[in-house]
């Protein structure tokens, strides 16, 4: 028998500690009319072996997600992650480490953060990068707050092609500041530059654009950043699929002032609601307003290489009124996972993986359009996500794919609640799909 800590003596002890005489007194504040007075239809007690058998039978009725390949992305992507990553993460010196409050005792953690910062700086082209933001949505919101502090203005232009979760998080973060958020519409799946130029003004603090955007399209970031600089306003680029940076031009080369990124696609599995791996990049002159920690390399008194906290701007590190963020943790394992993953791939491996992703996505898009059952919604460049309109009901599309072992794409009409996108689907393709997989998807949906 397993011990269930709910015996009569234990209940009496808990009630005494709370300061009530019995359970009825404990729930006296709940009106009697809303209390459940009947009996639940629960089977009788089971032995441990019977219970395990029963639970196993129930579990077997579920489909194992590992047996499906997802055609849905929208900010969370399944990529191949070598078992080397999990093997190294499970080492006790990494797995039990936490925020390096005492840098002199946390050299391994600090070195991992330093190397990951260096990887991201090379990948993004930004002068300074901080990891350890909760996720990409939080990074986007922190980037906006950073722009408000730097500009002393309170109006932000947000592309309609920004991930809706990122937009919601920005709204939550800026609500206490009464920030005016102005949506810039899209045209053909891309941010409308003409409408952006119309909305810009001297009171604009920042412009937020995602690329590749929520519809999978690759924005002309340098062209959108140019009018922002003229007013001037800070230009913020959000990146949900960081693997794209292995193929596309670096944000730092295109006039981006602040970069808000999500590194889930760099060495992390899908966590189903768990934390991901956000980061922020910026120009060096904005260093003091970055909300986080930066690790630097130096020498100790014996001339040996060592690592220190060069900048610490969180309220757990400095006086609260001077802090730029209330983030209170260090995603050490996530940072290390991404660092190991990038080190394993190397420059050439990262480029080739990104190339496989975009070639596979374009292959599937062409095949599906060629069936005559789908039509293009937007005519613009994309990385590994694309939007198509289905001529068959979306319910049929989902059923055929599920029956064939694939997780269906995201239905944009129902997800965004927009009539003009009814019947459209956002497909995502990564390197886990073989050519045979893509041909099978085409076969299933082309009938």
pLDDT in tens, 167-199: 999 999 999 999 999 999 999 999 999 999 999
Q: What is the structure's pLDDT at 101?
A: 62
Give domain limits for the chain. Answer: 69-77+346-446, 83-342
Give the Cα separation of 399 and 406 in Å (integer). 10
| Cα Rg, the chain, nearest whole Å | 26
- 149: pLDDT strictly greater than 60: yes
In this predicted structure, the answer to whether residue 288 has a pLDDT above a threshold of 90 is no
The rounded percent of the chain whose pLDDT value lies above 70 is 93
Sequence-ordered list of residues with C-beta below 8 angstroms from that of 365, at least 6 positions apart, any chain: 376, 382, 386, 388, 427
Q: Above 80 in pLDDT, residue 2?
A: no
Whether pLDDT at 316 is above 60: no
Nearest to 122 by CA among 349, 338, 347: 347
pLDDT over 60 at 1, yes or no: no
The CA–CA distances, whole Å, from 9 to 24, 26, 119 equal 17, 17, 58
Contact 220, 93 (CB under 8 A): no
Residue 328 has pLDDT above 70, yes or no: no
Dist CA 94 CA 425 (whole Å): 41
Residue 234 has pLDDT above 80, yes or no: yes
**DSSP category for residue 417:** T
Which pLDDT score, from 0 to 100, does residue 274 have? 76
CATH no. for 83-342: 3.40.640.10
Q: State mean pLDDT over 395-408.
A: 96
Q: Structure tokens of 405?
A: 């072992």
Query: Residue 93 — very low, low, confident or very high, per pLDDT cuts 50/70/90?
Result: confident
Mean per-residue pLDDT of the chain: 91
**Rounded alpha-carbon distances, angstroms, from residue 82 to 86, 123, 248, 263, 332:** 8, 20, 24, 16, 19
pLDDT level of residue 15 (50, 70, 90 thresholds)? very high
CA 179 vs CA 144, 167, 171, 175, 206: distances in Å? 10, 13, 8, 6, 11
pLDDT at 324: 67
CATH node for 69-77+346-446: 3.90.1150.10
Between these two residues, 109 and 58, which has the higher pLDDT value? 58
pLDDT reported for residue 319: 59
Classify residue 246 by its DSSP letter: G
Residue 40 has pLDDT above 50, yes or no: yes
Mean pLDDT of 370-393: 96
- SS3 at position 319: coil
Pairing of strands 406-407, 69-70: parallel
Span between the terminal Cα atoms of the chain, in Å:
55
Choose the weakest-confidence range: 98-107, 280-289, 404-413. 98-107
User: 32 versus 211: which is more confidently predicted?
Assistant: 211
**Is pLDDT larger for residue 321 or for residue 202?**
202
Choice between 101 and 223, residue whose per-residue pLDDT is larger = 223
Cα 187 to Cα 160: distance, rounded to the nearest angstrom: 10
pTM: predicted TM-score of the whole model, two decimal places: 0.85
**Residue 325 above 70 pLDDT?**
no
Upper half-sphere CA count for residue 12 (Cβ side, 13 Å): 3
Instruction: Quickly state the pLDDT bin for 267 (edges 50, 70, 90).
Output: very high
Backbone φ, ψ for residue 407 (5° rounding): -80, 125
Residue 372 gets the label, from left (phi > 0), alpha (psi -120 to 50) or beta, of left
Using one digit for the tens of pLDDT, what is the confidence trace for 201-220?
999 999 999 999 999 999 99
């Amino acid at each position: 028998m397993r011990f269930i800590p709910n015996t009569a003596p234990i209940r009496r002890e808990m009630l005494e500690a709370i300061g009530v005489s019995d359970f009825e007194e404990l729930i006296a504040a709940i009106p009697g009319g809303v209390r459940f007075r009947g009996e639940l239809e629960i089977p009788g007690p089971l032995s441990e072996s019977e219970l395990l058998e029963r639970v196993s039978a129930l579990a077997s009725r579920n489909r194992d997600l590992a047996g499906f390949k997802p055609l849905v992305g929208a900010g969370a992507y399944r990529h191949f992650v070598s078992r080397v990553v999990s093997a190294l993460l499970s080492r006790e010196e990494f797995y039990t480490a936490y925020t390096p409050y005492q840098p002199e005792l946390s050299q391994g953690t600090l070195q991992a953060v330093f190397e990951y910062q260096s990887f991201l700086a090379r990948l993004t082209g930004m002068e300074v990068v901080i990891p350890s933001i909760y996720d990409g949505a939080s990074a986007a919101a922190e980037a906006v707050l950073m722009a408000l502090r730097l500009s002393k203005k309170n109006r932000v232009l947000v592309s309609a092609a920004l991930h809706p979760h990122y937009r919601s998080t920005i709204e939550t973060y800026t609500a206490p500041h009464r920030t005016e958020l102005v949506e810039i519409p899209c045209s053909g799946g891309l941010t409308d530059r003409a409408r952006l130029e119309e909305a810009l003004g001297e009171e604009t603090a920042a412009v937020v654009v995602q690329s590749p955007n929520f519809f999978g399209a690759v924005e002309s970031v340098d062209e959108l950043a140019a009018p922002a600089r003229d007013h001037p306003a800070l230009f913020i680029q959000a990146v949900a699929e960081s693997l794209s940076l292995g193929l596309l031009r670096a944000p730092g080369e295109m006039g981006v002032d602040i970069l808000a990124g999500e590194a889930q696609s760099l060495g992390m599995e899908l966590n189903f609601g768990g934390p991901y791996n956000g980061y922020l990049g910026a120009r060096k002159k904005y260093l003091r307003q970055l909300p986080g920690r930066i690790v630097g390399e130096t020498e100790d008194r014996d001339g040996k290489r060592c690592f220190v906290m060069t900048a610490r701007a969180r309220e757990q590190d400095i006086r609260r009124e001077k802090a730029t963020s209330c983030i209170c943790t260090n995603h050490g394992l996530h940072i290390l996972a991404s660092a190991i993953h990038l080190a394993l791939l190397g420059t050439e491996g990262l480029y080739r993986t990104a190339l496989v992703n975009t070639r596979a996505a374009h292959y599937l898009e062409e095949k599906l359009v060629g069936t005559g059952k789908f039509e293009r919604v937007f005519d613009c460049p994309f990385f590994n996500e694309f939007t198509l309109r289905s001529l068959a009901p979306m319910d049929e599309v989902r059923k055929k794919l599920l029956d064939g072992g694939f997780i269906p794409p995201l239905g944009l009409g129902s997800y965004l609640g927009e009539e003009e996108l009814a019947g459209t689907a956002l497909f995502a393709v990564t390197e886990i799909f073989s050519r045979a997989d893509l041909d099978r998807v085409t076969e299933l949906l082309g009938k």
